[in-house]
Amino acid sequence: APSTLRGYNGAVNRFIRFCRNGKIHQRFWLPADELVLCAFAASSKGRHAGSTARNALAGLKAWHSAQNAEWKGGKRLNYILNGVENRRPALSHRPPRLPINRKMLRILRAGLDLTDSVDMAVFAAA
């Protein structure tokens, strides 16, 4: 999907900027050394949710694959990603919401035409 490609491209650009700012020699960029990947992932700690860091690394992994380069991410990287998730900002997740109740389903039903297949699917999914 185009949005996935944009996200992956952004991740590669952020990684390259991270490496340049950190004065990491280019030979460690591609294939990226696991310690460099860990440092890049850890740089998200407290700023992003773990899922954001994982998505960025998925983009880097796709970049490696497209360049036919070995992916060196392993257990250490997974430990770092778990740590990033544990230190995610408080605003990166929403508080639990109340479950859907019968009144809500009645309101939804009133606005749907159950002779229409799309409306029927929406109501069935609810």
Q: What is the pLDDT of residue 48?
A: 66
pLDDT value at residue 19: 94
Higher pLDDT among residues 95 and 49, named by residue: 95
pTM higher than 0.75, yes or no?
no
Overall residue count recorded for the chain in this entry: 126
Using an 8 Å Cβ cutoff, are 8 and 67 in contact? no
Q: Is a pLDDT exceeding 80 seen at residue 94?
A: no
- Is it the case that residue 92 has pLDDT exceeding 70? no
